[in-house]
Structure 1
């Protein structure tokens, strides 16, 4: 683990300066690629990167985490732009940012750590699958279907069409070459790896496209000022739309969860100051509020940039602020360079990013140790692909809560002889409605010609549904002794455990 300190002056400026250049080179192609994949001008991705570096970077929270446009929100942004239009994107991001600030001020940041890791990994896996499927169409220059499921099922047909089209084949070759170069770049000498493989791949793809006049589309450049869309009165009035408010909630929750889980991961890699989750949530909200005012993409903390920042030797927040400055200088001095970047190369970068979002090893490990968690992860990813981003996350959360409730409801049923004419049924553990079918099945299977003693002395908690069901069962089987049954049970201490046995003669 790296020893990271938070000095009052700038004794680590040399290390932070070098790290900022590395983070800038990592962030540049990703900012552009995420914007293009989200269906918005490439300049908006760079604006979000600048805000994430300079504005969020200056604020307190996590000192080494780097924020910017993230592949994890690509699917959600694309759906929002298609549903409400580009002018409404700024309003959505603005409202989501204000909601994040409110959650941070209310000190809700720490509660995001209570979200099941399986749900988060399932969310990222589902996003990764949709990104990969969508960017394969983009790499071939073919329009992609709107839904994630249609993207996956339509891939074989799209590939068959691409094989008969020379332009599509050339575009696919550029995208495939980008992926191969990024993956293979990790085997290069350490000095060469100082330059990120994604940037090298984009530069080589642009050079090849220009030298050989390849028939592949490139990034469209409209200018930074032209790309900015300040929210107007019409866009602000759309906040009355319940569907748009649901999208705002999805942006705020998913961006917050991704940022705070990234912070937790980065904290494990160094020994410096820990993240203040509430302040980090306020910082993320402030960045998104400004991005919304500028009509740009939403920002989150990005684990790829953050880990690159740490590995490059960053010691303070100066590195992430400087990386935002370099992005600003690029936008101001070299915006025309964007027009030389092939879209297929950006698609290749995002295919690689989407692949890294899928935790293949994690799923196998969970299946061997915690199959329930593995099923939640797979179900969340499947729901995101089949239904949608927000709905998929909600399904994952519901499944996670249901699984936790089931596991917390420990029940042990023991049968023993209690004299010659009675059977003692002893229940032990925590009894909730989830275990009610098991209990009733066990009671109904008892001999009808013997008296039953239901012993609840080992029960720690008995919820209302189970108490009512057991009393009903006792009344049905005890006849005139129903009042005695109720008298033998414990006082209702928040539906707590019963203190004594319940006799129910058949």
Structure 2
């Protein structure tokens, strides 16, 4: 009898635990849904595609990527980090090719995950990734400031930034533009100050509150404020045609796919590492997470939607709302589907300026000002890599800027690890011993040769190489050339001893 009672109590406790987990996940899913709606719509509008495509990507992020193994609590959807690149791709290749780009990105991610390359993304310098996001943030801010005023932005990133003073002058001289800009500015103010509101108000996520207040203001202002165009969920789906796949042979398309895959994968896996620090649950399995992201992007590509990545804003909201399992992110996708299917007309009430304000705020959050200050104090070289990557993205382009950052990171690492020290031992009798230690590479050759050429010419020299960890070909050749010159000029031999 006691055994039956214990079994009953255990069963009741398990049922209660499962019920508590479900309720926690249900609550968290609704919070993430409320955060996701304005972000999905805003990223789509800023990318130059119908607003519904952003919701479709969010739905796929919940129902497809959210269902697959990898990271249990991070949430995927359209991300501000890819907005600039997607906009450029749509303008260059057309919206019909977007599905091909995203599908190819997803297949490439699946391949990388299958080859177990997920962990390699953790080897990418954090400074390069943060510089990439900072550059994206700068371009995003510059472009969306024009959208806040309802004005057209220049196509080039530098032109956008250079044209900001003129844009502000034009805005000040136009009542319609000034009204629109003030609405976007008010949205940013709400986003910034919402965390200072009373606790009972902060139950509503800041993006939803900011956009909700903007909807009310837009209704009061009437037709003078541009609203989001509504196309309908099914009408917005644009699967790529067979002719679109022929564009994959173009070099520009291949470069865009590589940029999509690199940025989306790096952002997702860095987000996973950050989310893992927020909870005590299962850790991310990086190769499986990369494949989950790839599967989601493949589906998004088939539907002609935006590319998806893991999004730290939604993921953090999910964790802080008390989510315990991946059921929360799956249910958030279901809420997005119901919203897009049942109340699509609600999108037509949202002012474009408000969404631009949300993305300006998101752009500022992509710029790691505190991290730049910290790196400048402790690792100045890393700070320079970060800033150089961001500036290269702004001035040259996304893909080229990332390559510049990676190249600078490699050069910096080579410089830091190429440390060679020369100790001269002169006991007053022949020979002089020049003992080298560390790693002798071409990067340190000028200083090393200066030190060797300063040795006395009238004495034989023994070069001790036993302390070297590495001696590259350029350095060995230069040492041999110096030894030959020294021996010829002083008629005193140079001898190499104990090579590594």
Shorter-chain TM-score: which interval? over 0.9
- 2:147 matched residue in structure 1: 138
- Give the TM-score of the pair, scaled to structure 2: 0.94
**Aligned mates of 2:430, 2:284 — CA distance in 1:** 65
User: What is the 5 A alignment of 1:455-470?
Assistant: 455-470=464-479
**Aligned mates of 1:373, 1:211 — CA distance in 2:** 49
- 1:277 matched residue in structure 2: 286
Q: 2:424 aligns with which of 397, 415, 420?
A: 415
- 1:235 matched residue in structure 2: 244
How far is 1:239 from its partner?
Answer: 0.5
Q: 2:212 aligns with which of 203, 227, 232?
A: 203
Once the two structures are superposed, residues 52-97 of structure 1 have per-residue CA deviations (whole angstroms, 9 ceiling, x without a partner) of 0110000000000000000000011011111111111100000000
> Contact 1:262/1:302 (CA < 8 Å) preserved in 2?
yes
How far is 1:441 from its partner?
Answer: 2.2
**Which secondary structure state, in structure 2, belongs to the residue aligned with residue 121 of structure 1?**
helix
1:398 aligned onto 2:421: no
Q: 1:368 aligns with which of 371, 377, 400?
A: 377
**Which secondary structure state, in structure 2, belongs to the residue aligned with residue 429 of structure 1?**
strand
User: What is the 5 A alignment of 1:55-454?
Assistant: 55-213=64-222, 215-419=224-428, 423-454=432-463
> Contact 2:187/2:211 (CA < 8 Å) preserved in 1?
yes
**Aligned mates of 1:218, 1:438 — CA distance in 2:** 64
**Aligned mates of 1:353, 1:116 — CA distance in 2:** 23
Structure 2: segments with no counterpart, 5+ residues: 1-15
How far is 1:455 from its partner?
Answer: 2.2
**Aligned mates of 1:290, 1:47 — CA distance in 2:** 10
RMSD: 2.0
- Give the TM-score of the pair, scaled to structure 1: 0.92
1:476 aligned onto 2:479: no
How far is 1:396 from its partner?
Answer: 0.6
> Contact 1:51/1:290 (CA < 8 Å) preserved in 2?
yes
Structure 1: segments with no counterpart, 5+ residues: 1-6, 491-497, 500-506
How far is 1:248 from its partner?
Answer: 0.5
**Aligned mates of 1:205, 1:214 — CA distance in 2:** 14
Name the CA shift for 1:362/1:166 in 2 (closer, same or farther; >3 Å): same
How far is 1:445 from its partner?
Answer: 3.3
Name the CA shift for 1:426/1:45 in 2 (closer, same or farther; >3 Å): same
> Contact 1:179/1:352 (CA < 8 Å) preserved in 2?
yes
**Aligned mates of 1:237, 1:37 — CA distance in 2:** 27
Once the two structures are superposed, residues 112-164 of structure 1 have per-residue CA deviations (whole angstroms, 9 ceiling, x without a partner) of 11011111111111111111111001001111111221111110111111111
**Aligned mates of 1:278, 1:207 — CA distance in 2:** 45
- 1:494 matched residue in structure 2: none
Once the two structures are superposed, residues 420-469 of structure 1 have per-residue CA deviations (whole angstroms, 9 ceiling, x without a partner) of 56543221111112112221222233344443332222212111221122
Q: 2:27 aligns with which of 13, 18, 23?
A: 18
- 2:6 matched residue in structure 1: none
Which stretch has the larger CA shift, 13-22 or 403-412? 403-412
**Aligned mates of 2:344, 2:230 — CA distance in 1:** 8
**Which secondary structure state, in structure 2, belongs to the residue aligned with residue 453 of structure 1?**
strand
> Contact 1:118/1:374 (CA < 8 Å) preserved in 2?
yes
**Which secondary structure state, in structure 1, belongs to the residue aligned with residue 230 of structure 2?**
coil
**Which secondary structure state, in structure 1, belongs to the residue aligned with residue 224 of structure 2?**
coil
Name the CA shift for 1:8/1:391 in 2 (closer, same or farther; >3 Å): farther
Once the two structures are superposed, residues 198-254 of structure 1 have per-residue CA deviations (whole angstroms, 9 ceiling, x without a partner) of 111111111121123151211111111121111111110100111101110110111
Once the two structures are superposed, residues 351-399 of structure 1 have per-residue CA deviations (whole angstroms, 9 ceiling, x without a partner) of 1101111111111011111111111111111111111111111111111
